[in-house]
Amino acid sequence: MYFPLRISFLPRCSNGTVTFDVIFGPAYKGIPLAAVVSSALYAEYGINVDYAYNRKETKGHGEKGLLVGASMKNKRVLIIDDVITAGTAIRESVNMLKSIDAIPIGVSIALDRMEKVSLEDPISAVQGVMRDLDIPVVPIITLPQLQAYISSCSYETDLVDSIAAYRTMYGVN
């Protein structure tokens, strides 16, 4: 089944144009997400946005280096990843981007699990990233939305109960 890209999760100006120049996918799961979002933006909306990604370690052969893809120097960069667990990867990405004079303008994640940073800290990892880095984090879907969808599928009652228990223990309000 084909689901068209919901462009509403992308940061936009009031006139509807995107507010970034490059999509950045942190290694590893962010890499295919950045590629597919860049491709979908062009295929579905005619919006041409380059993408780049990093490696976990610098290569000494081939094209070498830590960063691959479009130049990000002095460009507005949207970071795309699957989830934010503790925020470490996003913080590292923002620091790396700033070190090359890129301008991180926001983060889009596939799923906001809405987990507490720790059992003692009442805010979520996403809320912590927004507070500490002063950039927006926009999820495509949140755990409560996913939970509502799964609840509508009556054959998944065990999964619904598991997610509810998980949210009770680790989730934010």
Compute the mean pLDDT over every residue in the chain, rounded to the nearest whole number.
Answer: 85
Residues 80/25, Cβ–Cβ less than 8 Å: yes
Indicate if 29 belongs to the active site.
Answer: no
Residues 103, 108: Cα–Cα separation, whole Å: 15
Instruction: Look at the chain and count its residues.
Output: 173
Indicate if 75 belongs to the active site.
Answer: no
Report pLDDT digits (tens) over 129-172: 999 999 999 998 999 888 888 888 766 678 888 989 989 888 88
What's residue 2's pLDDT?
32
Residues 6 or more apart whose CB falls under 8 angstroms from that of 171 comprise 113, 114, 115, 116, 143
The residue among 136, 117, 135 whose CA lies nearest residue 125 is 117
CATH of 9-142, one of 3.20.20.100, 3.40.50.2020, 3.30.460.80, 1.20.120.1080: 3.40.50.2020
CA 112 to chain centre: 9
Report pLDDT digits (tens) over 50-66: 999 998 777 777 767 78
Q: In angstroms, what CA-CA distances link 80 with 11, 38, 172?
A: 12, 10, 23
Bridge partner residues of 59 (DSSP): 65
pTM score, whole prediction: 0.85
Amino acid at 152: S
Q: What are phi and psi of 84, to 5 degrees?
A: -115, 115
List 29, 59, 64, 116, catalytic entry = 59
Residues 51/35, Cβ–Cβ less than 8 Å: yes
The verdict on whether omega for the bond into residue 45 sits within 30 degrees of 0, i.e. cis, is: no
List 56, 61, 64, 116, catalytic entry = 61
**Range of lowest pLDDT (75-89, 95-109, 141-155):** 141-155
Q: Where are the domains of the chain?
A: 9-142
